Amino acid sequence: MADSSEQNGSFKNELKRAKQYVIRKKGELHLPMQVEKTDIVGIVHRAFDVSFGNIVNSKKAIRNRGWNPLNYNLLDDKELNNREEQEAVNHAHQYCDLAGVSPMDHGESISLEGASKSLLSRIVEHEIRQRARNEALTNNAEEIRLNKVAAFQEAKRLTAGVVFNGHGCHLDQSVFDRVRELSRSRELKEQERLDNQKTKHDKQAAKVAAIRAKQTTYEKWSTNELTTMVSWYKRPGDSKIPSTRAKLVARYLLTCNRIEDERNRKKPGEESIVDDVDAAAV
- Residue 22 CA to residue 31 CA, distance in Å, equals 11
pLDDT score at 257:
84
How much of the chain exceeds pLDDT 70, in percent?
80
pLDDT score at 282:
42
pLDDT score at 182:
86
Q: Are residues 121 and 68 part of one domain? A: no
**Stated length of the chain:** 282
Between 246 and 86, the more confident residue is: 246
Full domain range(s) for residue 141: 111-168
Residues 67-91 have a mean pLDDT of 65
Q: Are residues 82 and 33 part of one domain? A: yes
pLDDT score at 139:
79
CA 93 vs CA 2, 98, 102: distances in Å: 39, 9, 8
Confidence of residue 180 (pLDDT cuts 50, 70, 90): confident
Where is the domain boundary, 105, 130, 158? 105
The reply to whether the predicted model has a pTM over 0.75 is no
Q: pLDDT tens digit string along 136-148?
A: 878 787 887 888 8
**Confidence check: pLDDT of 83 > 70:** no
Q: Are residues 78 and 119 part of one domain? A: no
Q: Are residues 45 and 98 part of one domain? A: yes
Amino acid at 180: R
pLDDT score at 106:
52
Q: Are residues 90 and 4 part of one domain? A: yes
Confidence of residue 84 (pLDDT cuts 50, 70, 90): low
Q: Is residue 70 part of a domain?
A: yes
pLDDT score at 107:
47
Q: Is residue 123 part of a domain?
A: yes
How much of the chain exceeds pLDDT 90, in percent?
10
pLDDT score at 199:
92
Q: Are residues 137 and 101 part of one domain? A: no
CA 37 vs CA 20, 46, 51, 244: distances in Å: 15, 16, 22, 55
Confidence of residue 80 (pLDDT cuts 50, 70, 90): low
Q: Is residue 63 part of a domain?
A: yes
Q: Are residues 134 and 34 part of one domain? A: no
Q: Are residues 67 and 30 part of one domain? A: yes
> 81's torsion region: left (phi>0), alpha (psi -120 to 50) or beta?
beta
Q: pLDDT tens digit string along 203-231?
A: 988 999 999 898 888 898 999 999 999 88
Amino acid at 63: R
CA 202 vs CA 193, 208, 235, 241: distances in Å: 14, 10, 17, 20
Between 64 and 242, the more confident residue is: 242
Other beta carbons within 10 Å of 20: 11
Q: pLDDT tens digit string along 121-140?
A: 888 888 888 888 888 878 78
Residues 58-74 have a mean pLDDT of 73
Q: Is residue 133 part of a domain?
A: yes
Q: pLDDT tens digit string along 92-110?
A: 677 677 767 666 555 445 5
pLDDT score at 4:
66
Q: Are residues 100 and 129 part of one domain? A: no
Cβ(158)–Cβ(178) under 8 Å?
A: yes
pLDDT score at 170:
73
Q: Are residues 8 and 79 part of one domain? A: yes
Q: Tell me, letter by letter, the H, E, C secondary structure of the chain.
A: CCCCHHHHHHHHHHHHHHHHHHHHHHHHCCCCCCCCHHHHHHHHHHHHHCCCCCHHHHHHHHHHCCCCCCCCHHHHCCCCCCHHHHHHHHHHHHHHHHHCCCCCCCHHHCCCCCHHHHHHHHHHHHHHHHHHHHHHHHHCHHHHHHHHHHHHHHCCCCCHHHHHHHCCCCCCHHHHHHHHHHHHHHHHHHHHHHHHHHHHHHHHHHHHHHHHHCCCCHHHCCHHHHHHHHHHHCCCCCCCCCCCHHHHHHHHHHHCCCCCCCCCCCCCCCCCCCCHHHHHHC
Q: Are residues 79 and 15 part of one domain? A: yes
Minimal CA–CA distance to 150: which of 132, 105, 142?
142
Average predicted confidence (pLDDT) for the chain: 79
Q: Is residue 9 part of a domain?
A: yes
Q: Is residue 209 part of a domain?
A: no
Other beta carbons within 10 Å of 43: 18
Confidence of residue 196 (pLDDT cuts 50, 70, 90): very high
- Residue 265 CA to residue 271 CA, distance in Å, equals 11
Q: Is residue 177 part of a domain?
A: no
Q: Are residues 120 and 99 part of one domain? A: no
User: Structural domain tally of the chain?
Assistant: 3
Q: Is residue 176 part of a domain?
A: no
Alpha-carbon torsion, ordered 63, 67, 71, 75, to 10 deg: 110
